[in-house]
Amino acid sequence: MKGVFGLIGLVVALAILGLVVKKQFAAQGAMMAPPAAAGASSAGAAPATPPATVREQSLQTQQQVRDQVQQLMQQPRPMPEGQ
């Protein structure tokens, strides 16, 4: 009898987990679509073309990180009031 209740509990837990995963995938798909559509319709000019290869995308990301780090390094640090 304990085994039956354990099995029923496991099936119910898996069903709940399946529903949560399904909702998450649906929400993720809904979040992905509008920004691309909104960006294309609101921008007057054509959007920048994405990199053609993974290597180009990697190099572009590395350059963006370098630029952001350089920008942050140029900002003055706040001095503590006690010194």
Q: What is the pLDDT of residue 38?
A: 44
- Would you say 47 and 40 are in contact if contact means Cβ atoms under 8 Å apart? yes
* Cβ neighbours, 10 Å, residue 71: 9
Q: CA–CA separation, 81 vs 83, rounded Å? A: 6
What is the amino acid identity at position 23? K
Q: What band does 61 get if pLDDT is binned at 50, 70 and 90?
A: very high
Give pLDDT tens digits for 4-52: 999 999 999 999 999 999 998 887 776 655 444 444 444 455 556 766 7
